Amino acid sequence: MSQGNGQGAYAQHLSKINQKNTVLASEDILNDDGVLLIKKGSAISEKTAEIIVKHKLTRPLEHSVTLENVIDGGRLFKGFTRLFERYPDCEVVHKNLNLALLLRELCNVYSGYELLKQKLTVLSMQRPHDFEKGLFCAWFSMALARKMDLPGQQVSDVFLAGLMHDTGMLHISLDILNKKGQLTPEEWRTIQSHTLIGEIFLQQVPGLSPMVAQATLEHHERRDGTGYPAGKFSEKLSTLGQIVAIADSLGAIRMLRLSGGNGNLANLLPIIQFNEHSYDPSCYKALFSLIRSSGLEPGRTLADTEVDAEVKILVLAHRQLSRCFKPLEGVLKLLPEDSTLRGVRSAILLVHSCWFTVASSGLLANDLLQWLEQIMTGVSQEDYAAVEEMEVLLKELHWQLIQVRKSLAMLKEVEGMQVPQTQQALNRTLELQEGLDQVFKR
């Protein structure tokens, strides 16, 4: 893994954590011409990191450094304990499936890989949110794999893949990761490369199952071909990769959209049903059963005093979402159906997927909008649960449109897509979706 794969970014992370956790070169660090850059035993400081940024290395940087204090199996298990304290609904599922002993065993398995401990420690110190996501993803992947009665080795592999799935972010330029505002298409492609970077790293961990690297590579792939980095379809995807993909996406929703109020995993069921076509059938069946069998009931996500104001926002969102979908049909007609370009093919598939999801759900039907308009003057308690479910689903649809927008934005750079009619349709679609963002920020 060369500087081209983000060794400079990783060196910068190491130099920052060296202020709290000693990071030393465990061997001489050489550039690709064999010239000595950093002597064995030297600290990875800001000065040495600047040297590394300017060169390609003969060996991946993580193979040439050691950290004094790392997250071992015991500390990792405590991390899961804190996760359950923050998300007690996860502990309910954990206990329902009797996963305590298995979790401890898998933490011990993780502890046998020095490179995993190094990367996870750096992630926890530099990107704590991604670290917590990794904990959730590892636990949920393990729980889902156990629910599916997968063999022990596969349960272990999917646990480690979930834990490490976003460590590739440590090799992405900090300027891109910390950027405020919308990313350019090129910057978005760079972010997407974290899956490939994670795969390369895990392939180089001695003794690690190759399925861990494959599941990490595939955690943003979708069975309908709309994912990345390769846009694979279901028949070319591994079950373990799809498990990690589900755990990653649901973890993001649980931690971000349901972080306030009393929302829990049961609140995810409408979203799971909404996206049924995106999931591997066996994973979907186990996922639904896992949550249902826990006995969890959807929690209130809005206070009584917030419901009336939320209904007004949902009316605006419903109207704007409807406006956003109308020009998409025009865009779809302008895209070549037989394109072999992955960017164009992905955009077509994403638009089709959104249309199918909306059509099958009836979410943007006029009768739902009429119902929302009728209750704007005062929401009865009997309608609270329906309003909260509507909020969850409209925000999910908004998120899906954001993915479409990223894909359409990249199309503006594709050769042959610069004709005025196409550009006008793309620009109008992107403009409407930016207006939708403002509605949800209210």
Q: Which of 17-31, 57-71, 373-387 has the lowest mean pLDDT?
A: 373-387
Is the torsion defined by CA of 181, 187, 192, 194 positive or negative?
A: negative
Q: Which of 95-99, 123-127, 144-148, 340-344 has the lowest mean pLDDT?
A: 340-344
> Residue 372: phi, psi to the nearest 5?
-60, -40
pLDDT of 3 reads 42
pLDDT of 122 reads 97
CB 196 within 8 A of CB 242: no
- pLDDT tens profile 351-366: 777 777 777 778 888 8
Identify the three-state secondary structure at position 30: strand
- Angle subtended at Cα 195 by Cα 193 and Cα 201, rounded to the nearest 5 degrees: 105
Question: 36 - beta bridge partners?
Answer: 30
pLDDT band at 6 (very low <50, low <70, confident <90, very high): confident
pLDDT of 2 reads 38
CB 86 within 8 A of CB 53: no
pLDDT of 214 reads 98
**Is the model's pLDDT at 116 over the cut of 80?**
yes
pLDDT of 123 reads 97
**Is the model's pLDDT at 162 over the cut of 60?**
yes
CB 219 within 8 A of CB 244: yes
**Is the model's pLDDT at 417 over the cut of 60?**
no
CB 75 within 8 A of CB 104: no
- pLDDT tens profile 240-264: 999 999 999 999 999 988 877 688 9
CB neighbourhood size of 265 (10 A): 23
**Is the model's pLDDT at 4 over the cut of 70?**
no
- The predicted model scores a pTM of 0.88
Q: Average of pLDDT values for 17-24? A: 93
> Which amino acid, residue 228?
Y
pLDDT of 409 reads 72
Q: Average of pLDDT values for 376-401? A: 84
Q: What is the dihedral of CA 94, 98, 100, 101, to 10 degrees?
A: -150
Going from the N-terminus, what domains does the chain have, and what CATH number goes with each?
3-67 (no CATH), 73-292 (1.10.3210.10), 304-440 (no CATH)
- The mean pLDDT of the chain is 87
pLDDT of 438 reads 62
H or E, element range at 66:
strand 65-67
pLDDT band at 421 (very low <50, low <70, confident <90, very high): low
